[in-house]
Structure 1
Amino acid sequence: MKSMFCFSVCAIVFFLLFFSEYLRVFLYQTPSSSLIAAFQTNQVKTSFKLDIKQDVIVFLHIQKTGGKMFDSILVHSLNVNTPCLCIKPIASGCRCRGANGHIWLYSRLSTNWMCGVHADWTELHECVPRTLNYLEKNFDGISLNRRYRYITILREPVARYLSEWLHTQRGADWPTLHKCRGHLPSLADFPPCRKGLTWINVTLEAFMNCSTNPARNRQTYMLANMRQVNCYNLTGMDYDVRQKKILSSAKTNLLSMPFYAMTDFMNESIFLLQHSMGISLKNRIKINPKPRASSLRVDQQILEKIKELNRLDIELYDFAKKLFFLRLKSVKEDKFNPSTN
């Protein structure tokens, strides 16, 4: 009797877990007709066949989004004709080149941070072409017929922000400022939050209270073309107008990406990666459990303040999630109903 009771409980728990996961995905896989109409067909149907003789995947790696894991998938698991050759234990010791010497992947693990640590959209567009010319020994600067395929990975903004705080609190850090038109922002426009080399043991309150903390709306700022708002010069443009332009630019650039992943939907992201680029994976991907920040308990009042500080990221993430599941739906329809192509 006792064993039957335990079996029944286990069966109910399994069913609830399965149903919750099904419901989580199903709700986003059935978008409304008004949402579908908000995007153009070529913004939803973005699949292409990866050609490593011509294409260059440029991975825009935003901090604390699970980018290291995703970068590892790119260098170790893509089933391409000339896969990356990696030398362990060198962190950036992967050589991702086609038979003609063409570099087909720009990322931390393949080329290291040659355009800056966690370079953003603006830095990468200014830097990647000449960096690849240098690495491929194209010193004459001859225009090569490269097709740049920018991709990224996004994470729920509050969890990402808290994860960056925990990372900073441990004493780890990155260069805080990004270049635009070849120059760093002035210290007058963006005074640093920390006084020393690190911000170790920083409290969440202090982390939130620094108005120039780049953790705020980091995903939006890193995806935007900062040249459209005169880089990081805060004079000459109304603050609210500037924020709207930055958000609009980030959405536009995200729309132009043929693929992007989402940390909270990694299984779906891996499926979309394969079918967006017309490739397969060499091995089954093990999804890491939810990171510490995802289970961190925060007072409701503080949580609301974090949301307010990251309102651009929250709007961008909501936009990205809707587009992501529209693309997923489109790919599945094409895959399972080939006659509709």
Structure 2
Amino acid sequence: MEISEIVAAYIRVLALAVLVVYGYAWVIRTISQRLMRGVAAGLLFGLGGIFSMNDPIVMRPGLIYDARSILLVLSPLYAGPIGTIIAAAMMGAHRLVLGGVGATGGAVSVILVALSGYASTLIPRHRIGIGWGRSLLLGLATVSSFIVLVFLPPEIARDLFLSAAAPVMLANILGVLLLADLLEREKQRVRLVRVLENEASVDPLTKLPNRRVFQRAADRCVEEANNRGRPFSIVMLDVDHFKKINDTWGHNVGDTVLSRVADIIRRTVRKTDVAARYGGEEIIILLPETEEGDASIVAEKIRHAIESEDLIVDVTAVKVTVSIGVAAVDSSGTTIRAAIEAADRALYRAKTTGRNRVELATAA
């Protein structure tokens, strides 16, 4: 294999790497479910390998060199076990379809490279890190692709090993270093974007969604109520005597109490419900497809759970209760603002009539 061919192969690897990185970025940005993300990444890596095999360097008739080993050895890291199986199956099957003297060995090498890549993921991260050391190890793992030589006539195998082993190995190592760096950078970039998005939508103290997230969810419920007549309810909750807690034990204790109350609410409501910090010690909860009677049961369950919880803050036992107002929307034409105001009025009645109780907006 001439040096010019190695250069040409490396340029094609660069082009393929860019396409794979763009595709991988789309996958991890748009698919949140882990299994489906692995399947999509496996299909991406498999297609990348197939494209590379369709534009190879022909070392001899029926014997080709391409970038499949680079993609395969990285599949366990970025596509997971399921994705690696999918990618390996796609590449192995395509190599057999292409045929030639190296077809069987090429298909076997696909399996060995995939297994070598997976084996490298079992090495503890603190031993090899996540930088060039890991990439170098993965690049060396592509040496297992040379199993293809076992399936060739001895004279051809010997000639190829002497003339092609070094440049192929170098191309694979450089390709892995490059592609792993690009994929890792994109993975970290997407992770940073998600962290920033999370910080922009989550209240830092209670870890509950903020009012912006609540408003978006509430708008969807209003649309469902107007178009399909699906009811929803609003629950407004306020910690009783919160100012006294702050004045007695300090704001740090008050913040901890509010955070613990948020934890109890999070454990009590459904995954489809949206509990958000509304302001100060007030928490608002959106209950989709929930009528007033069921919302009242949920509110009472929350009230009882908070009252029954022993909140120990810095060895200080703090008794906490909450007052709750509930308003339901079961017809079209009601705005979210009107529903919140109705729940707020019910909350005010709960506080003025003894606290630690649930009041319904319809009871006014």
Superposition TM-score tier, normalisation by shorter sequence: under 0.3
Using CA pairs below 8 Å that are at least 6 residues apart, which structure has the higher relative contact order?
Answer: 1
Determine which structure has more spread, i.e. the larger CA radius of gyration: 2
More helix by share: 2
TM-score using structure 2 length? 0.22
TM-score using structure 1 length? 0.23
